[in-house]
Structure 1
Amino acid sequence: MKSKRAFLTISTASLFTSSGVLTGCSAPSMGVNEAVRKIDAKLAGTFASVGPPLKKSDGPARITEGANSFTNEPNGEGVVARTGYVRTKVSKARVVVLAKAVEKHWKAKGYELENASRKVPTFEYSTPEGVSLTFDVNGDLITIGATVSDVEYPGHGDIDDGDFPNGLGDVGPTPNVRDPYWSK
């Protein structure tokens, strides 16, 4: 019986060691600038796929520091995120049209559905490159966001201000542009 117990102990230790649990995490796979370029490209491609074109504002790019799940100590990794705010006033009748256009684009790119709520509509897709994309409706506010993890944490959370040099309060993310198609 001792040999089976020893085998189980060795196998479990091998599993944890190969997954990085006992040996520590691997180094982050990309730098902040590469992560920002990656999420900005996904957001730009998404907005470019919608017609007629929408007016938008890019929110600030931020990085959130990660922590070791066992010790809760900083682990040198982070998650980079940016939100694109739809500035065009989209009528309730056109929200579903917009959601379907975005989702069609993401499906055509081969992105995988992770979560969805058709009631709102809100959904999240992931790309083969590790970017998480979200479409969200909150009242009149429509956002399309992108995040990527496994990024080297630079020691601070601010990356760039996007289209809001004075913070989100300078213009506010409220849709304020009327469009003959989207605002009907």
Structure 2
Amino acid sequence: MAVDQFDAARRCETLLQDTLEAIDPMPAWQEAALRAGARLPRPGRESAVRWYVARGRHILTVVSLPRRAVLVDVVERHWRRSGWTITSLNAGRDRPGVAATTRDGYRLALCFGELGEAGLTASSPGVARSERIPVLSGDGGQGSAPPLPSVCCPYWSALA
């Protein structure tokens, strides 16, 4: 049975939740806008259009500058323990980030924006098209820009 967009969306949700549960204390978050669409075939490599889905989480917890690298390190270690390949690692102080690929081709990324906003995303490899894609439980974060973090946490928001 081939994986379709419906199954891929559920797998993305599982990957995101699993990653968030590995962070202690778990930061406050909200769902990001759902993305789905087609990837055109690569000339000479593929003959069919492949479909994808992507899901995300906006991190609402304020993560102080000193703790950003710690958060990235926690996520990186979890992904490595899960047997995933780290494809990118930015250890910069202001805007650190990490990206990985799972054994089954899903891509995950955690990155910080210019104003301290953080996002966690999961996207599928090419899958079969589906008329049904799971809906998000909330509004799906349909705003045009990610929200700025506003939830303080004794650990993640600490300055030292």
For Structure 1 versus Structure 2, the TM-score category normalised by the shorter chain is 0.7 to 0.9
Which residue of 101, 118, 125 maps to 1:142? 118
Secondary structure of the structure 1 residue equivalent to 2:62: coil
**Structure 1 residues 54 and 165, CA, compared in 2 at 3 Å: closer, same or farther?**
closer
1:153 aligns with 2:126: no
Which runs of 5 or more residues in structure 1 are unaligned? 1-27
- TM-score of the superposed pair, with normalisation by structure 2: 0.83
- The answer on whether the counterparts of 2:33 and 2:141 sit within 8 Å (CA) in structure 1 is no
Secondary structure of the structure 1 residue equivalent to 2:126: strand
**Higher strand share goes to which structure?**
1
Which residue of 133, 146, 155 maps to 2:108? 133
Aligned length: 153
Secondary structure of the structure 2 residue equivalent to 1:129: coil
C-alpha displacement of 1:38 = 0.6
1:67 aligns with 2:40: yes
Partner of 1:178: 152
Task: Quote the sequence identity (%).
Answer: 22
Deviations 1:163-182 (A, max 9, x none): 3357225x952211111111
1:82 aligns with 2:82: no
Report the structure number with the largest CA radius of gyration.
1
- TM-score of the superposed pair, with normalisation by structure 1: 0.73
**Coordinate RMSD, CA, aligned:** 2.6
Which structure 1 residue ranges, 4+ long, deviate > 2 Å from structure 2? 68-71, 153-156, 158-166
Distance 1:104 1:66 in 2: 30
Which runs of 5 or more residues in structure 2 are unaligned? none
The equivalences for 1:112-123 within 5 A come to 112-119=85-92, 120-123=95-98
**Structure 1 residues 128 and 77, CA, compared in 2 at 3 Å: closer, same or farther?**
same
1:100 aligns with 2:76: no
- The answer on whether the counterparts of 1:55 and 1:177 sit within 8 Å (CA) in structure 2 is yes
Higher RCO, Cα 8 Å, sep 6+: 2
1:32 aligns with 2:14: no
C-alpha displacement of 1:162 = 5.4
Distance 2:39 2:142 in 1: 24
Deviations 1:119-171 (A, max 9, x none): 23122111112211111111211111101122123479x863553357225x9
